[in-house]
Amino acid sequence: MSASQDRHATVKATFGQRATQTDHPLAAYLLRLMELKQSNLCLSADVSNARELLQLADAIGPSIVLFKTHYDLVAGWDYHPKTGTGAKLGALARKHGFLIFEDRKFGDIGRTVQLQYTAGTARIIDWAHIVNINMIPGKPAVKALAEAAKHWRSRVNYEVNTSVTVGTPVSDSFNDNGEEEAEEADTVGAMHPHPPPTQHRDSNSTGRKGSIVSITTLTQSFEPADSPRFATTIAEGDELVYAGIEEPPWERGLLILAQMSSAGNYMTPEYTRACQEACT
């Protein structure tokens, strides 16, 4: 049997055809992107500083579909979640039509990899569409990352709307001259979401009645945000999206490191099969 006859039927299909047969939204998006750009190039951006990284992404972005990073070897990486290096890479990815692949190679117990992925200084999950893991800690680590991405996905696409309502001071007492006792009004701090009305009462010898204070109420609501774009992270002029395709979906991708080309590695055939099984 020739090599061409031995190939799986999926390999013979176009990227567009394969996109329609893929369940994962991000995988389908990547295949559609490859069809649109007529490219399957992934650039390994092993550069030494953040400015060079962004310049490279801007220059080569139109020709690639994946931009592979090692954020922890980049000097000058700005960790600000809204205006930092990750956010700027995200803006360039939207503009030029590519996905970001952080080559982190997670390899620890479940809770640790979850925190490495979603928390800490880098918050990788916020800007990297795809990450990877080796199977040294076993399948539970894969499950832990999947759970972290699912939890992030369920929360991140909601905008928090805050409203503040200030009540009008009401007084039920007047002094002898008919003037309202405004000096008795007070303001309740907005830190309490529903502060109770309070009254000031003077001693009985004054003959005064209490006055109700003004109330400031703070309420918050969570509303779905249809677009993955972080509006506050994009500099003016960087809000473009690559023509012909929408923004990437919220779902995140995970690659399992089943093989390596380095000499003397310990990735045996048994290990590779275990990686394949972990994907199911």
- Residue 68 assigned to a binding site: yes
Q: Which residues pair with 10 in a beta bridge?
A: none
Cβ neighbours of residue 150 under 8 Å, at least 6 residues apart?
none
Q: Which residues pair with 43 in a beta bridge?
A: 67
Cβ neighbours of residue 253 under 8 Å, at least 6 residues apart?
24, 26, 27, 30, 129, 130, 131
User: How many alpha carbons lie under 13 Å from residue 202 in its C-beta half-sphere?
Assistant: 12
Please tell me the distance from the alpha carbon of residue 212 to that of residue 197, in angstroms, as a whole number.
Answer: 7
Q: Are 158 and 224 in contact (CB under 8 A)?
A: yes
- Residue 46 assigned to a binding site: yes
Q: Hey, which residues are catalytic here?
A: 103, 105, 108
> What Cα–Cα distance (Å) separates residue 256 from each residue in 259, 268, 277?
9, 14, 11
Please tell me the distance from the alpha carbon of residue 142 to that of residue 127, in angstroms, as a whole number.
Answer: 20
Q: Is 218 helix (H, G, I), strand (E, B) or coil?
A: strand
**How far is Cα of residue 247 from the mean position of the Cα atoms in its chain?**
13
46, 54, 93, 235 alpha-carbon torsion, rounded to 10°: 160
Please tell me the distance from the alpha carbon of residue 50 to that of residue 101, in angstroms, as a whole number.
Answer: 16
Please tell me the distance from the alpha carbon of residue 207 to that of residue 54, in angstroms, as a whole number.
Answer: 73
Binding positions are 46, 68
Binding positions for substrate are 46, 68
